[in-house]
Amino acid sequence: MLNVKYKMGIIFILCLILLTLASCKQVEKGGNQLSENEQITVAKENLFSFEHPKTEQKYKIVHVNQLFHQYIEKVKENKSHSNLQLYKEEIIQPIYKDCFANGEYLYLADTLLNTPPEKLGELQMISNIIEKRKEEINQLIQESILKSADLLPSQSDVAVCVFPSTYVDMSMFAVGAGKIIFPYNLNYTDDIIKAGIAHEYHHSVWTEKHLKNNTLNSVLDNIVFEGKAVMFQRTVYPDIDFPSVDLNYNKELWSKIEPDLNTYNLSRSLEIIQGGKELPRNYGYSEGYKMINSYLEYNPDKTPVDWTAVSTQDIIEKGKYFENYK
């Protein structure tokens, strides 16, 4: 899951937890599940479906913007009505099954699921832009997913859910295997869309194939998790320099995070990955990318399928990464 200006997804992304910091992250299954009676299937006119030409893996793009047109009108008409209740009825319930149900990282979507949007005029404007660009957005997402699936096949269907968003720092994030959330705002360029989808696709497939229940992830695990996604997106789109990666080995900065690497602290993971305060922006993405790059320098025959499955310990030890900071 990266910041829209500097990352795509993310780690987990990292906008929707801890005051919308997270875009993507390895976590345990969370709450916010709807009962079967509350789940409604999204209307077909809001879906764009396609298949992989070789594997016949199925994909869908869910456009949520049309639902916001109806929601905004009802907010204006029903001023005494609970906006949260209306938001859940008009927006969340129709797309919940496709976009959120059974997501392994569901609590990353807590803000999106439980906070009705503000700035309705701006939201309407962004919804209109999505509607005008719908075919183009579909093509960008489809291209990225198919390129990604060529390198890293999956057995799971994948849904990409496109929400209009007035939050310029909100990133794409994977709710779990086969479920990618794309909060579209005015900062998304075509390149950022393509790179972001590839990044979150990797998180989706990793979750499908390698997530173990009841396993805690260390700060180092989380950095490697993001590093794999950055390496993957740059493998899919080698000409897209997003996010920018610092290839230097700064021992002073490393000394600030080294004591935390083997701790199990999600807040610290997010601080390191996103950067800020004493660390450069997106510091953890750069370090994670360099960890995978170092591993591949010593193991050049490994494919994305191979190195996606490699453990954190082997990434570090077989890539001799820590030697860069001695």
Over the chain, what HEC string results? CCCCCCCCCCCCEECCCCCCCCECCCCCCCCCCCCHHHCCCCCHHHEEEEECCCCCCEEEEEECHHHHHHHHHHHHHCCCCCHHHHHHHHHHHHHHHHHCCCCCCHHHHHHHHHCCCCCHHHHHHHHHHHHHCHHHHHHHHHHHHHHHHHHCCCCCCEEEEEEECCCCCCCCEEEECCEEEEEECCCCCHHHHHHHHHHHHHHHHHHHHHCCCCCCCCHHHHHHHHHHHHHHHHHHCCCCCCCCCCCCCCHHHHHHHHHHCCCCCHHHHHHHHHCECCECCCHHHHHHHHHHHHHHHHCCCCCHHHHHHCCHHHHHHHCCHHHHHC
pLDDT > 90 in the chain, percent: 75
Can you read off the two tokens belonging to residue 285? Answer: 């993405």
Round to whole Å and give the CA distance between 20 and 117.
13
Give the pLDDT confidence score for residue 198 in this predicted structure. Answer: 98
Give the pLDDT confidence score for residue 18 in this predicted structure. Answer: 35
The pLDDT mean for the chain works out to 88
Give the pLDDT confidence score for residue 76 in this predicted structure. Answer: 86
Q: pLDDT tens across 116-169, in order?
A: 998 999 999 999 999 999 999 999 999 999 999 999 999 889 999 999 999 988
Give the pLDDT confidence score for residue 33 in this predicted structure. Answer: 54
112 has a pLDDT exceeding 50: yes
Q: pLDDT tens across 6-25, in order?
A: 444 433 333 333 333 334 44
Round to whole Å and give the CA distance between 229 and 308.
9
Q: What is the mean pLDDT of residues 317-326?
A: 97
What length does the chain have? 326
pLDDT band, residue 28 (cuts 50/70/90): very low
Give the pLDDT confidence score for residue 42 in this predicted structure. Answer: 59
Give the pLDDT confidence score for residue 1 in this predicted structure. Answer: 60
Q: What is the mean pLDDT of residues 254-270?
A: 95
206 has a pLDDT exceeding 70: yes
Give the pLDDT confidence score for residue 80 in this predicted structure. Answer: 60
pLDDT band, residue 170 (cuts 50/70/90): confident
